[in-house]
């Protein structure tokens, strides 16, 4: 019995990925996404919720939770590069500028290293708002496996 469903699209295996391969995504971080995230995590940090509080401390709008930005990165790996079946196993992530509710961000992904011995792909991510770099990350990813799992009946 073949366990891989033919209707499920699987991402690129390590032998199908190439150094220099890129993918870009633009996302507007809306109040809806933030409220869904905060509801799911039960995070009630006033930096993410309360306009009065953020104005009191000198900000123009509530901030976007860092882990929401990270979630966009990991879901992009799962959906597009390498794609379904991939798993992020290590992350170095930096936010260099505040990211506000309503910001439109561009995420640029680039495969910078392939280690076939360890079955790992290193992906660099740059996050920009307009012309300003607001964050970056290095993701270590295990892509989908090369072989199908078959069970003898």
DSSP at 76: H
Q: Give the span between the Cα atoms of 23 and 107, in whole angstroms.
A: 8
Domain boundaries in the chain?
Answer: 22-142
Q: What is the mean pLDDT of residues 8-34?
A: 91
* Mean of all residue pLDDT scores within the chain: 89
Fold of 22-142: Thiol Ester Dehydrase; Chain A (3.10.129)
- Residue 9, Cβ neighbours under 10 Å: how many? 10
Arithmetic mean of pLDDT, 91-99: 94
Q: What is the mean pLDDT of residues 142-148?
A: 75
pLDDT in tens, 39-69: 888 888 888 988 999 999 999 899 999 989 9
User: Which helix (H) or strand (E) segment is 88 a member of?
Assistant: strand 87-95
CB 10 within 8 A of CB 85: yes
């Amino acid at each position: 019995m073949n366990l891989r469903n033919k209707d499920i699209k699987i991402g690129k295996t390590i032998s199908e990925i190439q150094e220099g391969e890129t993918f870009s995504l633009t996302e507007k971080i809306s109040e809806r996404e933030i409220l869904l995230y905060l509801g799911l995590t039960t995070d009630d940090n006033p930096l993410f919720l309360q306009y009065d509080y953020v104005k009191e401390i000198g900000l123009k709008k509530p901030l976007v939770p860092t882990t929401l930005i990270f979630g966009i990165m990991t879901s992009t790996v799962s959906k597009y590069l390498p794609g379904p079946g991939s798993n992020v196993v290590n992350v170095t992530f930096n936010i260099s500028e505040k990211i506000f509710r309503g910001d439109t961000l561009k995420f640029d992904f680039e495969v910078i290293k392939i280690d076939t011995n360890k079955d790992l792909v290193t992906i660099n991510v740059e996050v920009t708002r307009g012309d300003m770099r607001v964050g970056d990350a290095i993701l270590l990813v295990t892509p989908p496996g090369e072989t199908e799992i078959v069970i003898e009946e």
